[in-house]
Amino acid sequence: MTFPLSAVVLAAGEGTRMKSARPKPVHLLCGRPMVLHVVDALSELDVDRAVVVVGHGAERVTKALLERAPAHLAIDFVEQRVQRGTGDAVSVALTAFPDDDMEDGEIVVLPGDTPLLRPSTLAALVRRHRDQGAAASVLTTKLTNPTGYGRVVRDKNDRVARIVEEADATAEERAIDEVNTSIYCFRRSVLAPALRRLSPENAQGEYYLTDVIEVLHDAGYPVVSLVVQDALEAAGVNDRSQLAVAEAELRSRTNQLWMQRGVTMLDPARTYIDATVELGLDVTLFPGTMLQGNTVVGPGAQLGPDCRLIDCSVAENAVVEHTVGRQAEIGADARVGPFASLGPGSRVPPGTVTGPFFSAAAHDENDEER
């Protein structure tokens, strides 16, 4: 029997290490807010509802999700007004569920700063949870240098017994190379009671969600794990360096996807495509091409080298070289550049050859009357 599946996304943190006025969950990766990439991980699951816990910059995080989240996914928002740890955040999230909705079913819990998690990995975690009849399942990975991560402590039967945060770990526990990714699946009926047993008596003075694992294990409930082989999937983004690593990985995945769909890239490492861009069949992208926003490129078009197009439309078989364009329209079979500048609202008619050093502003319908 398959029970209803819900999701909780923890996106309340301030992200002080980002050194930014922008809330961490809405920092952009391949043109989309980071938290949206996390929501993407739910795409292979039949999730009946998702609850997002917001806090710092709540309005901006809420707005980003309401405007861009998949239309089929119902999202509710709850605010964690005081940051008292991940355990408290999940307790706040559960207030969005009716009391009679907590008896059956499962809840996946995701941090809002793990944008590299693949949908297939999360689906595998839920399958393992169900196959094993687990009360809790945790996604783990193994790191050569586990510094900064919570360690997974196993019992004598090699079952997950508890997770200890590094600040609270002994020297022996810090030597463990299996770490917590903060990605879980819980049986609904046992989660709330376990959360009520948490204590803030730890190095951070917070309610750790990780402590739920020990509570359930000690109560005799089955707790299982799934070890993800690609540790990068579970990597959190806490500063600008980690943001750059995530951007490079997501860009590589995006480029691979488009090449599989029939797009030619002469140098994928020097080709930058936002996740919001649409490309037609047999498009050729030369090195230094950067396509951003809602840019749409028609079949057979050739872009680059060194083009940056933002929210532009490029029709079929157009050729665009050494060009910067923003909110511009390029017609079919047009040849633009080299060294062209297309301003917002400008239009290059079909078949036009602009020549070098071309500059265009918005088209004015009254120009012909002058």
Give phi and psi for 169, each to the nearest 5: -85, 150
Alpha-carbon distances, residue 358 vs 106, 223, 313, 324, 343 (angstroms): 59, 65, 18, 11, 11
Encoded amino acid at 238, one letter = N
Given 17, 68, 159, 253, which residue is catalytic?
Answer: 17
Residue whose token pair is 């699951």: 45
Phi then psi dihedrals of residue 224, to 5 deg = -125, 170
CA torsion sign for 109, 112, 118, 119 is: positive
Burial of residue 106, with CB atoms counted within 10 A of its CB: 0-12 exposed, 13-18 middle, 19 or more buried: buried
Q: And the tokens for 81?
A: 């007004």
* C-alpha span between 345 and 82 (Å, rounded): 46
Q: Give the residues across from 226 on adjacent strands.
A: 139
Distance CA 182, CA 47 (A): 19
Q: CB count, 10 Å around CB of 124?
A: 15
- The token duo for 183 is 């990605």
Does the annotation mark 17 as catalytic?
yes
d(CA 21, CA 12): 14
Q: Can you read off the two tokens belonging to residue 67? A: 């405007």
- Helical ranges in the chain per DSSP H: 34-40, 58-68, 86-94, 119-131, 171-174, 188-195, 211-218, 240-260
Q: Return the active site residues.
A: 17
